[in-house]
Structure 1
Amino acid sequence: MKHPEGPPGDPSALLIDPSVVGQSHILVNTGVVRLALARYSRISVIAEVSHCEALKEYLGPEACERITFVPWHRRSDIRKTVRDFISGKKFDQILFTNMEYDMFVYMCLFHQGASRKPIRWVLHSHLVEAAATDRRVRIKNVIKWYFFFRAFRGARFIVLGDRIRANVEELIGPLFRRGNIGAVIHPVGVAPLPQRGAGSPLRSNRLPQVIFMAGWHALSPKNRALLDALEGIHQEDRRFEVEVVSNRIDGVNDNKAFSMEYTDRLNRIAAADFFLHLPSDPYRLQASGAVMDMLLTGTPMIGLRTDFGEELAGIIGPFGYFFDTRDELLRFLSSASPNPTEVESFRANLASGYDKIVARSQAQFDELLAS
């Protein structure tokens, strides 16, 4: 399988996603592609066929003119596709937009030389159980850390935020290499909706509309109980109108994907006054695509405080109401009346925040790959 050969010295990059299908991870993967397009003349992308189609849809024809898409059709195809594509070729940079453990070991053993720079691996939720207390999980984590941060000296990792990097480094401890972990704030590769930051003003003749949409991970029992408590508030006592929208995961294995199109998800969020953010874990070790969706819709958030959300607020300014516990969040939703002026400031921060995040992620990406 051949890909377009540029002139001698023409910088090239190969991006590989070994696992996701359809529109899953579409925001971060389009973001990484756009970061690479700003740095390299030629881009090739290896991904599952339905994910290639999703990337084409959300990147648009102008960007796709500079990209060679190489689809794999079954999970068992991915290793052969990668091997055939890089055979006899040398890229300036190979970057995996997701981590799959056997693929990681395979590349480190056999294909390190396919990239002039060390291969980079983006870590998403791969370390969320790093602080687990269960003995079996702890043993598994130590083995995982050994392969990631000790066995392969040339491996390099990207996490989506400086706070996440600090948290990862703290957890893995001094026995493992921490200098091979770099941070890039969660990239954004999808264009914002035209009405971003200009949502309908809060009106006194109706309750503020709050939308909740579950993410890829299953809803935790504590979050389920919180939604039940909100539903149990008497109509005359409600301060917010909470709508729970189903975005179930359909299919199994390679065909698993959300039932709702990403564009439809964004449009539903944009029509609400607030988005209810209920992470299923403390999010100390991963970013949140749901939080980044608010940059595209201009919709303020109400939810639980996370390290990633705090880092984002430090860059763009406050963009919602956040609480440390579910009890505090429930009390707010049961009794508070949001200030319209404050809400408009949240929307303004989100509207201007899109360009800030795009610029910041590009600067961090360029600095990381130049090092």
Structure 2
Amino acid sequence: MIDPSVVGQSHLLVNTGIARLAVSRHERVTLIAEATHCDALKQYLGPDISAQITFVPWHRRSEIRKTIRQVIAGRQFDQIIFTNVEYLLFAYMVIFHWRASRKPILWMLHSHFVNAVGPKKAWRIKTLMKWYLLFRTSERVKFVVLGSRIRANIEAMIGSLARPGSIISIIHPVGIAPLTEDRRSAAVSASRTPRVLFIPGWHALLPGNQELLSNLERIAPEARRFEVVVLANKFEGANNKKTFLMEYTDRLNQIAQAEFFLHLPSDPYRLQASGAMMDMLLTGTPMIGLRTDFGEELTGIIGDFGYFFDDREGLLHFLRSAELDLAEVHRFQANLAAGYEKIIALSQAQFDAVIAS
């Protein structure tokens, strides 16, 4: 397993999930990642799974190809999985080291297609060159995306560049244990105003989402059906990459103390999964938010786990006027509680099928 890009707790949910899947099916797993990311993975995978993994940290981006070359020198692995794509490293592996893996190397795509087609001609030409590099230069690679709807959306976007069977999907895996009952929030009750928590994500808050939050703030206190709380989660630069300042366990504990989590995704969420939705599996906290392809796919697997709307107007109207059905909310919580094991089982089965193919 190799992640050539992230630091700290970035991509923590995905990489712990893939590590858990790999450990269950391979006798030995070597994981190459930036040093602080290795530390984060060890912390959240726990000692039992971490004991089955050889961690190979790198400290500067200039080291990554050297580190990979040293690890694979003179050896062939059953399977190599890159849990992120970096274009230069992709070309390096396709040209020099595609034989290092007995089976086609797997490359995971995350938000690589977000804003991929810019308004300028030069940007569009650059994008087309990147797509050609990824999807037409080698038959000895396959790509993994986190959800069948995302795969369909990407294939529709890149058109004839997609080789049949080269893009495969597994549901977003989970490699972190859910919070225990005593660390979760109290059940929703009619005796108090339900609290809805919002934590900004990686991408900048869209103007429409910012306006929605401003409209919620202007609701008179005596007229509020929900208490909306915005929790700052600023990020800082590290090794030229962004990492959140908030510890992931602190994020989960904050979510667990709220009755609902407010989900305001950026527009391109048809091309990427949502770690925030997987947080709900770990905390058992229902969501209120905008509908996304990944959310619809997850609902089809675990059942309803919140209130979702096609536009901000519908979401704002709900937050202004909704009368909660407590039985319905309890059903959301039950679906999330059972959904964790469903996702674990489904992602393992889909991963096993990918490895076997």
Q: Normalised by the size of structure 2, how large is the TM-score?
A: 0.97
The partner residue of 1:108 within 91, 94, 98 is: 94
2:162 aligned residue: 176
Whether 1:126 aligns to 2:112 is yes
Q: Which residues of 2 match residues 190-201 of structure 1 at below 5 A? A: 190-195=176-181, 199-201=185-187
Q: Which residue of 1 aligns with 2:54?
A: 68
| Partner amino acid, structure 1, of 2:276 | A
Change (3 A) 1:290 1:65: same
Instruction: Tell me the SS of whatever aligns to 1:60.
Output: helix
Residue in 1 that maps onto 2:248: 262
Give the corresponding residue for 2:43.
57
For 1:32, which of 3, 6, 18 is the aligned residue?
18
- Superimposed CA distance per residue, residues 323-349 of structure 1 (whole angstroms, 9 cap, x where no aligned partner): 000111111111112211000000000
Question: Residue 173 of structure 2 aligns with which residue?
Answer: 187
Report the residue type matching 1:284 in the other structure: R
Could you report, residue by residue, the CA deviation over 1:289-326 in whole angstroms, capped at 9, with x for unpaired residues? 00110000000000000000000000000000000001
Query: 1:255 Cα shift?
Result: 6.1
What SS is found at the alignment partner of 1:284? helix
Distance across 2 between alignment mates of 1:255 and 1:307: 27
1:202 aligns with 2:188: yes
| Equivalent residue number for residue 199 of structure 2 | 213
Deviation at 1:165, TM superposition (A): 0.6
Query: Could you tell me which amino acid in structure 2 is paired with residue 85 of structure 1?
Result: V
Q: How much does 1:182 deviate?
A: 0.6
Q: Structure 1 residues 352, 196: closer, same or farther in 2, change over 3 A?
A: farther
Give matches, 1:14-29, under 5 Å: 15-29=1-15
Distance change (3 Å), C-alpha of 1:273 and 1:145? same
TM-superposed deviation, 1:279: 0.4
Shift of the alpha carbon at 1:216? 1.3
CA distance in 2, matches of 1:89, 1:196: 47
Aligned pair partner of 1:351 in 333, 337, 343? 337
Q: Structure 1: how far apart are the matches of 2:302 and 2:86? A: 32
Q: Which residue of 2 aligns with 1:6?
A: none
Q: Please give the secondary structure, in 2, of the residue aligned with 1:70.
A: strand
What RMSD in Å do the two structures reach over aligned CA positions? 1.5
Separation of aligned partners in 2, 1:196 and 1:137: 51
1:331 corresponds in structure 2 to: 317
Contact 1:21/1:254, CA 8 A, preserved across alignment = no
Query: Cα gap change, 1:52/1:343 in structure 2, threshold over 3 Å: closer, same or farther?
Result: same
CA distances 1:162-214 after superposition (whole Å, capped 9, x unpaired): 11111111111124324200101000000000029964222223211000001
Alpha-carbon contact 2:184-2:257 (below 8 Å) kept? no
What secondary structure, in the 3-state scheme, does the structure 2 residue paired with 1:44 have? Answer: strand
Query: Which deviates the most, 133-142 or 312-321?
Result: 133-142
Question: Where do 5+ consecutive residues of structure 2 fail to align?
Answer: none
The answer as to 2:137 corresponding to 1:155 is: no
Alpha-carbon spacing, 1:369–1:196, altered in 2? closer, same or farther (3 Å) = farther
- Counterpart CA distance in 1 for 2:120 and 2:135 is 22
The answer to which structure has the higher helix fraction is: 2
Counterpart contact for 1:145–1:176, Cα < 8 Å = no
Moved more, 171-180 or 196-205: 196-205
* Off by >3 Å, runs of 4+ in structure 1: 130-137, 196-199, 252-256
Q: Distance in 2 between matches of 1:196 and 1:101?
A: 45
Q: Which stretch shows the higher mean deviation, 43-52 or 213-222?
A: 213-222
1:150 and 1:297 map into 2 onto residues whose CA distance is: 41
| Alignment of 1:319 onto 2:336 | no
Question: Which whole-Å deviations, capped at 9, do the CAs of 1:42-87 have from their partners, x for residues lacking one?
Answer: 0000000000000000011111111100000011111111111111
> Number of matched residues?
357
Distance change in 2, residues 1:140/1:365 (3 Å): same
Normalising by structure 1, what TM-score?
A: 0.93
CA–CA distance in structure 1, aligned partners of residues 123 and 328 of structure 2: 44
The one-letter amino acid of 1:98's match is: N
Deviation larger for 189-198 or 97-106: 189-198
Q: What is the Cα deviation at residue 128 of structure 1? A: 1.9
**1:117 and 2:97 aligned:** no
Instruction: Provide the rounded CA distance (Å) in 1 between the counterparts of 2:117 and 2:24.
Output: 37
* Alpha-carbon spacing, 1:312–1:78, altered in 2? closer, same or farther (3 Å): same
1:8 matched to which residue of 2? none
Is contact 2:135–2:161 with CA below 8 Å preserved after alignment? no
Matched residue SS, 2:25:
coil
Q: Which residue of the other structure, out of 245, 248, 257, is the alignment partner of 1:271?
A: 257
Secondary structure of 2:190 counterpart: coil
For 1:365, the equivalent position in structure 2 comes to 351
User: Structure 2 vs 1, CA of residues 196 and 364 (structure 1 numbering), >3 Å: closer, same or farther?
Assistant: farther
Deviation at 1:234, TM superposition (A): 1.0
CA–CA separation in structure 1 for the residues paired with 2:51 and 2:181? 28
